[in-house]
């Protein structure tokens, strides 16, 4: 896939098929231009475009969505805060649209992701397959049932990521069979009530969970051009969810 950005409108076009001309309202980009190494091309309507190869971030712009997704500002912080790397073996639920899954797939050694709603499962599965990750296994199952299975054939994980509304119900079933001591557990929760309940649960006597951090991430985009440099309006206060970072003590 290539990306063509119009210099006239700043519209971004995601061009999947490079074997044919690409038609858009700003003219036609011809196959010979799309297949060339040129980064500056001009459409049949005389509009100039910047052209480059797509990255994962570009692919996700075109991915189908079924459930609310996690956006890059949160994914990036989760990955760095948990030191995610090529040794990480991740258990994830729910898969949702597979946005978090496909981001983590590019970093981790292995991912096992579970989704209990069939339509979401199908969407996430397709997105994972389209990105071609062979280190990622998705199953249509409730994660709490999976954790209670006696012979589940799952590895011992180094990290658990939960983007679902009731993480406590899941954490009740986690044992040292599932995750290593000191392993990271991250819960993604949009409301303060959920955060309160989770922190209370983790603060009980003999809890297996240490609350390492409760945070949110913010990113501030700037408009930089020849006329002025300033923060973009309305973007700086966008709230998505709280990030609760736990460590497993068992």
**Interacting residues with ligand SAM (CB under 6 A):** 67-70, 93-94, 96-100, 114-117, 120, 142-144, 163-164
- Based on CB atoms, which residue is closest to ligand SAM, 29 or 189? 189
C-alpha 221/C-alpha 166 separation (Å) is 32
Q: Which residues are CB-neighbours of 228 under 8 A, at least 6 positions away?
A: none
Residue 227 C-beta: closest distance to ligand SAM, Å: 36
Residue 224 C-beta: closest distance to ligand SAM, Å: 29
Residue 48 C-beta: closest distance to ligand SAM, Å: 35
- Based on CB atoms, which residue is closest to ligand SAM, 49 or 104? 104
- Based on CB atoms, which residue is closest to ligand SAM, 89 or 124? 124
Residue 98 C-beta: closest distance to ligand SAM, Å: 5
Residue 182 C-beta: closest distance to ligand SAM, Å: 24
- Based on CB atoms, which residue is closest to ligand SAM, 117 or 168? 117
C-alpha 77/C-alpha 83 separation (Å) is 10
Q: Other CB atoms closer than 10 Å to residue 1's CB: what's the count?
A: 13
- Based on CB atoms, which residue is closest to ligand SAM, 9 or 68? 68
Residue 26 C-beta: closest distance to ligand SAM, Å: 31
- Based on CB atoms, which residue is closest to ligand SAM, 110 or 142? 142
């Amino acid at each position: 896939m290539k990306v063509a950005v119009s210099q006239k409108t700043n519209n971004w076009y995601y061009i999947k098929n490079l074997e044919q001309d690409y038609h858009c309202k700003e003219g036609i980009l011809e196959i010979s231009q799309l297949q060339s190494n040129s980064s500056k091309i001009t459409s049949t309507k005389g509009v100039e475009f910047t052209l480059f190869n797509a990255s994962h971030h570009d692919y996700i712009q075109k991915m189908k969505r079924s459930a609310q997704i996690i956006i890059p500002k949160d994914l990036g912080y989760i990955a760095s805060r948990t030191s995610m790397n090529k040794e990480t073996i991740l258990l994830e639920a729910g898969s949702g649209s597979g946005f978090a899954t496909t981001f983590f797939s590019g970093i981790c050694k292995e991912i096992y992701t579970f989704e209990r709603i069939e339509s979401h499962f199908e969407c996430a599965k397709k997105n994972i397959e389209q990105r071609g990750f062979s280190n990622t296994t998705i199953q249509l199952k409730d994660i709490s049932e999976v954790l209670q299975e006696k012979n589940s054939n799952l590895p011992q994980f180094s990290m658990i990521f939960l983007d679902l509304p009731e993480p406590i119900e899941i954490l009740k079933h986690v044992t040292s069979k599932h995750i290593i001591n000191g392993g990271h557990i991250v819960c993604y929760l949009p409301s303060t009530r959920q955060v309160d309940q989770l922190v209370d649960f983790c603060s009980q006597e003999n809890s297996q969970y240490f609350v390492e951090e409760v945070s949110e991430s913010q990113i501030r985009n700037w408009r930089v051009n020849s006329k002025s440099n300033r923060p973009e309006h309305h973007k700086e206060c966008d709230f998505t969810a709280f990030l609760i970072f736990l460590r497993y003590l068992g």
